Structure 1
Amino acid sequence: MRDAVIVEAVRSPIGKRNGGLSGIHPVDLSASVLNSLVERAGVDPVLVDDVIWGCVGQVGEQSLDIARNVVLGAGWPESVPGTAVDRQCGSSQQAVHFAAAGVISGQYDLVVAGGVESMSRVPMGSSSGDAWPFGEGFRERYQGVVPNQGVGAEMIAQRWGLSRAQLDEFSLASHEKAAQAQDAGHFEGQIVPIEVDGTTISADEGIRRGGTPESMAAIRSAFQADGVITAGNSSQISDGSAALLITTSAKAAELGLRPIARVHTAVVAGDDPVIMLTAPIPATAKALAKSGLRIEEIGAFEVNEAFASVPLAWLSETGADAKTLNVNGGAIALGHPLGGSGARLMTTLVHHMRDNGIRYGLQTMCEGGGQANATILELL
């Protein structure tokens, strides 16, 4: 019986907007991650059946099937294909789902799933430009409301009764946890140093130290004059890439590879596209129901910190133990390179599970259009 196992997972550092990674083309950034993945695994890339690469802004430098361009830019054999995936912020988590389904069905024996976003070079929203992506049917159904993630985050805060102080406290904790993880070397085993114009970038750039409730309170609201969502309690605009190598247990044994974790359960869910960011809640419920596991059996959670209100509402609805959520910080501190974030979260989760002997981990993230992927991993 075929399964899907992760045998290696790596990521670049996450660069802040116009920071250290802004000087490297997204194809070259991805190629560095891709080559490090197979080097660490000890696998000849000619064996890879496909590269499934998440990317949201598939325009300009990230256009024309960036996955195939990454494969060729990495110097891999021309026989290795690649395809780009866009499920908004969950694009590279969806890439993992497609890869797992491919190896379980027998379409693949060895596949790479990952993603990239260079938001410094391809700004958010570039793919639609001035075009109207929704259509008249959408406008009529939702009474002309144009979905806006920041406004959706405000709606969540209002619906779940989350105060500005709670959001800021959560955000400060994200930076504190990320700083502690960085200082303790918890990210070193997962990060691929990136060379940019003679400089080596080897650490996440977005972590801020020494923040206080007072400094957070001084930041103005971003989406509503009297709102609670600010740049300080939202994810950062970032550059970054991550990748995972996926195969079956049988193929891993044949190639002499040691599996880290099994893709136990993989689901996707939809919810209200106007509030947009609530789908991790039903996605988590769907994953738990399909897996037969209880939330108390999950020892680690990665819930993307698109805005602080998202994981806080998720905690309120799921009853998960807050101590097991984003223990190494999240996108508020580390950054959110859209198409690369799903694979970044999963890479961090896989390493955390292995380092701490945690049997089950769950990842979920809100996505444009009111969607969410949820993945349960089992440590092997």
Structure 2
Amino acid sequence: MSETYIVSAARTAIGKFGGSLKDVSPIDLGAHVMKAAIARAGIEAGNLDQYVFGNILKHGHGQLLPRHAALRAGIPADVDGYAIDMLCSSGMMSTMNGDTAIRAGDADLVLVGGIESMSQAGFVLSARARWGYKLLIGGNTEQLQDAMLVDGLTDPVTGELMGEETERLCAAHGVTRAELDEVAYLSNSRAAAATAAGKLAAEIAPIEITERRKTVVFATDEGVRADTTMDTLAALRPAFSKEGVLTAGNSSQLSDGAAAMVLASEKAVKEYGLKPIAKILGGAWAGVESWRFVEGPVPAIRKLMKKLDTNVDSFDLVENNEAFSLNNVLLRKMLEIPYDKVNIHGG
């Protein structure tokens, strides 16, 4: 069984909702990072065996969005791939699937990643519109539905927004506003410092966009607030509940962006003279009750540690999906991972 190596990685800078990337289609975002990752790996697009990309918001952009992005990136039609929809974990799952394909001997070079444009999520009517409306009176009305909310940010099991569910989980764990704001402050200050020091530049593939009829290069993450303080965070109003602890400051912004990596087998590394930047030791995923989704990384990490016969203390750095500050708070509370190891360049 082959080991799996990461031989290149590239991402766009992250655009805030309605920001610099709002007019760039997810297909173009995906194509851009695909081309960048392939070029950085030093391979030809035709050398790929397959590609796997996470994508959730696809309404209005055609069938199998990663396929269109791949063709636009110059990947030959006889190299095929597929999309994964596992919400926040979609990009990570694409990497795990690529790793599995290589370990199983089904592929030697796999392009993996994630593509999303929340700014280009459409509005839709329900299926009732297809068959015609007989009466729209007495409360039997019809509304436009926001595909971003319906397909991306609302739990169909509970009918709640992700933020509303996270408020419940904060209460269940007794997490305070101050604890959440501390993580938010660390995240912003670290991201601002890393940006100012140029530590993120190497991973970003600059993309040309049009602003005010001029072509400009977009290469810096939007939404990082270098002037964030504990006082400014404390002044923000609750976002999801009148007496809640979640705010716009300790919850992640809506964003647009894409990222890609090339995974290679030992055979491919030798055959193409590739230079690995990391080796994948393994992966694991775990399920939780839908409203407790923020806890999801905890059982997944425990499962992976058992699989690898190691423990979290063996790792110097941890990257965690920081959808809400609670994500990192729970890593410390439930796994005793200190903040100085988590998302050291911001989350």
Instruction: Give TM-score scaled by structure 1 length.
Output: 0.80
Residues of 2 paired with 1:313 and 1:186: CA distance? Answer: 27
Letter in 1 for 2:93: Q
Query: Could you list the runs of 5+ residues in structure 1 that have no partner in the other structure?
Result: 139-144, 331-380
Partner secondary structure for residue 111 of structure 1: strand
Deviations 1:266-307 (A, max 9, x none): 111001112332111111111111111121111110111111
Residues of 2 paired with 1:281 and 1:38: CA distance? Answer: 33
Shift, 1:174, TM fit: 0.4
Partner secondary structure for residue 108 of structure 1: coil
Q: Does 1:278 align with 2:277?
A: no
Residues of 1 paired with 2:307 and 2:98: CA distance? Answer: 19
Residues of 2 paired with 1:202 and 1:274: CA distance? Answer: 35
Contact 1:49–1:111 (CA<8 Å) still a contact in 2? Answer: yes
Letter in 1 for 2:119: S
Aligned to 1:159: 172
Aligned to 2:108: 109
Letter in 1 for 2:223: G
Q: Does 1:181 align with 2:194?
A: yes
Contact 2:328–2:339 (CA<8 Å) still a contact in 1? Answer: no
Partner secondary structure for residue 90 of structure 1: helix
Residues of 2 paired with 1:127 and 1:181: CA distance? Answer: 30
Deviations 1:42-82 (A, max 9, x none): 10000111111111112112x41011101111122222212
Shift, 1:10, TM fit: 0.9
Shift, 1:205, TM fit: 1.0
Deviations 1:223-264 (A, max 9, x none): 111000111100110110000100112211111001111111
Q: Does 1:169 align with 2:186?
A: no
C-alpha root-mean-square deviation of aligned residues, in Å?
Answer: 1.8
Residues of 1 paired with 2:46 and 2:331: CA distance? Answer: 42
Deviations 1:111-164 (A, max 9, x none): 10011111111169617859xx988xx6xxxxxx43431122112222222211
Map of 1:1-380 to 2, 5 A cutoff?
1-61=1-61, 63-122=62-121, 126=147, 129=150, 145-197=158-210, 198-330=215-347
Aligned to 1:354: none
Residues of 1 paired with 2:149 and 2:16: CA distance? Answer: 23
Count the aligned residue pairs: 319
Q: Kindly tell me: are residues 171 and 55 of structure 1, through their superposed partners in 2, closer, same or farther at Cα, counting changes over 3 Å?
A: same
Is the radius of gyration larger for structure 1 or structure 2?
Answer: 2
Contact 1:35–1:74 (CA<8 Å) still a contact in 2? Answer: yes
| Runs of 4+ more than 4 Å apart | 127-130
Instruction: Give TM-score scaled by structure 2 length.
Output: 0.88
Partner secondary structure for residue 279 of structure 2: strand
Letter in 1 for 2:97: F
Query: Could you list the runs of 5+ residues in structure 2 that have no partner in the other structure?
Result: 124-145
Aligned to 1:357: none
Residues of 1 paired with 2:164 and 2:54: CA distance? Answer: 25
Contact 1:26–1:116 (CA<8 Å) still a contact in 2? Answer: yes
